[in-house]
Amino acid sequence: MFCLFIHLSLSFLFPAASPVQSKKPAIIGDRAVNESFTFTLKSSDCPPEDSTIFWKSNININEQQAVICKMNQTMGILPHFYNRIKCNSDFHITLNNLRMDDSGIYTLSYTFPCSDKKHIQLYNLTVYEPVPAPHIEAITHRNSACWCNFTLYCSVPTNSSVERYHWQKGNNETGYQLYRNGCTIHVSLPSQSLGPLDEEFICTVSNPANQNSRSFHVKQICSHLTDGEY
């Protein structure tokens, strides 16, 4: 009885050692629908014993096991990821054909047999709809022989995932520079600024995952200045 008491006391004072955890800040991942995302393990002198990814979606508060990778074998796949997630090497796990509802927090957990440290890496993945090509509408305002005044409106369908609009101005010979942010610009160009070159305005719409653009040539609306008509 006395020996048993000592054993229990020592077990309480000195619990069994567990692997030290190494946890890093979350990696931000922005991707478009149908693209892929790769989870990367830290390189090591030995392959991991196994790797597990847990997933907490943006619409479900419960964390779920997404996949287990062991000896390059993919197992324990959550039905949501069937035929889309693959352990393609000892140090890479790829999720293909991304969908909007894949967005969420992913926790990659793995241990190397040659190390006592358990590695944990968080990923904050957001999947966006592809950005559609914008439409540009031009409206003129009181043009004269010396000035061409107009407004350009850049727009996309209302249900698009566009978060930013910006404009560039220039041409193929002089290059392009940022002109202004926003979906609408008001422009006044003197006749001498047109010259023989066709100035161009480019509207680019984007979200964190991708972008799309459309251009507008000034001669489409200011031809009376270059042709000598007004």
Secondary structure, 3-state, 28-44: EEEEECCCCEEEECCCC
Residue type, 224: H
Which class does domain 19-128 fall in? mainly beta
Higher per-residue pLDDT: 133 or 140: 133
Q: Which of 35, 223, 201 is nearest to 134 (CA)?
A: 201
Domain covering 135-226 in this structure, CATH number = 2.60.40.10
Residue 6: strand, helix, or coil: helix
The residue extents of the domains of the chain are 19-128, 135-226
The sign of the CA dihedral 156, 162, 163, 164 is negative
Share of the chain residues as helix, strand and coil, in percent rounded to the nearest 5: 15, 50, 35
Model confidence band, residue 16 (pLDDT cutoffs 50, 70, 90): very low
Q: Which of 99, 146, 150 is nearest to 126 (CA)?
A: 99
Is it true that 19-128 and 135-226 share their CATH fold?
yes
pLDDT of the residue at 230: 39
pLDDT surpassing 90 at residue 166:
yes
Higher per-residue pLDDT: 102 or 218: 102
Mean predicted confidence (pLDDT) in 153-180: 86
pLDDT surpassing 50 at residue 129:
yes
Angle in degrees, CA 106, 98, 48, rounded to 5: 45
Neighbours of 185 (CB within 10 A): 18
Percent of the chain with pLDDT over 70: 82
The Cα-based distances of 216 to 171, 172, 177 in angstroms read 11, 13, 15
Indicate the range of 26-40, 48-62, 124-138, 214-228 predicted with least confidence: 214-228
Model confidence band, residue 155 (pLDDT cutoffs 50, 70, 90): very high
Q: Which two tokens stand for residue 123?
A: 């990923």
Residue 19 DSSP label: P
Strand partners for 187: 150
Model confidence band, residue 45 (pLDDT cutoffs 50, 70, 90): confident
Contacts of 210 (CB under 8 A, 6+ apart): 32, 128, 130, 131
